[in-house]
Amino acid sequence: MQHLHSYWRMEYIEAPKPPQGGRLFTELPRLGDDRVALIVHRSSLSYLVLNKYPYNPGHLLAVPFRDVADPAELTPAERADLMDSIILAQEVLRAAVRPDGFNIGLNLGSAAGGSVTHLHAHIVPRWNGDNNFMPVLGQTRLLPQALGATYERLRAVLPGVLARRRRKPGARKGKASHRRRKSR
């Protein structure tokens, strides 16, 4: 039997685990540096952040600022904003990495695979043939791009995507958020 090594997994295994209350997603926006926090975009009620341990390059999370565990706990405005962030994630990923499709989902509760109780949606870009033998048999994922490079690539296309959205008829008129911080 041949062994396949995925040394990068030790970073995940040894990393401090977030507190049970799911405080990770309330603390990230408070770091003050979106580049360090890997926050790609902030809206008034939610934000997009790169998953630190992605399934594929560009794996984004759409996270409401308010710490809730279930979509039913969101206000109508928060639900609309979170959905808009998910759609923005798709638009940015299409412009930056040109995926063939997406997996978009929520893992609610530990039995469903949720490791953080703070509600968040996964937006995973997919390419034809990306599920090869490595993750299936080798339990190893090959990620061809570092997180920092992915962050820069997504941030580079974001202004163009936002400009196109503003020109679309019926586009949401988002208000500037008091939560915005400038990337350094």
122 classed as catalytic: no
Determine, yes or no, domain membership for 108: yes
Kindly tell me if the per-residue pLDDT of 96 is higher than 90.
yes
Report the chain's terminal Cα–Cα distance, integer Å.
47
Average confidence score pLDDT of the chain: 81
What residues make up the domain containing 76? Answer: 9-167
- Adjacency order of strands within the sheet including 101-106: 39-42, 46-50, 60-64, 121-126, 101-106
CATH code at position 142: 3.30.428.10
Determine, yes or no, domain membership for 65: yes
Determine, yes or no, domain membership for 117: yes
Determine, yes or no, domain membership for 132: yes
Per the model's pLDDT, the better-predicted residue between 3 and 149 turns out to be: 149
* Helix axis angle, 147-167 to 76-97, nearest 10°: 110
Those residues with Cβ within 8 angstroms of residue 96's Cβ, 6 or more apart along the chain or in another chain:
58, 153, 154, 156, 157
Which residue, chain included where needed, has tokens 């799911």?
22
**The total number of structural domains that make up the chain:** 1
Hey, which of 54-63, 77-86, 140-149 has the most confident mean pLDDT? Answer: 77-86
Q: How confident is the model at residue 137 (pLDDT cuts 50, 70, 90)?
A: very low
Give the pLDDT confidence score for residue 175 in this predicted structure: 44
Determine, yes or no, domain membership for 184: no
Report pLDDT digits (tens) over 105-122: 998 877 777 778 899 999
Determine, yes or no, domain membership for 160: yes
Per the model's pLDDT, the better-predicted residue between 8 and 32 turns out to be: 32
- Out of 41, 59, 120, 122, the active site residue is 120
Determine, yes or no, domain membership for 180: no
Report pLDDT digits (tens) over 9-41: 666 566 655 444 458 899 999 998 999 999 999
pTM greater than 0.85 (yes/no): no
Give the pLDDT confidence score for residue 174 in this predicted structure: 45
Per the model's pLDDT, the better-predicted residue between 74 and 132 turns out to be: 74
Report pLDDT digits (tens) over 159-175: 999 999 888 776 554 44
Determine, yes or no, domain membership for 3: no
What is the distance between the alpha carbons of residues 182 and 174, in angstroms, rounded to a whole number?
A: 17
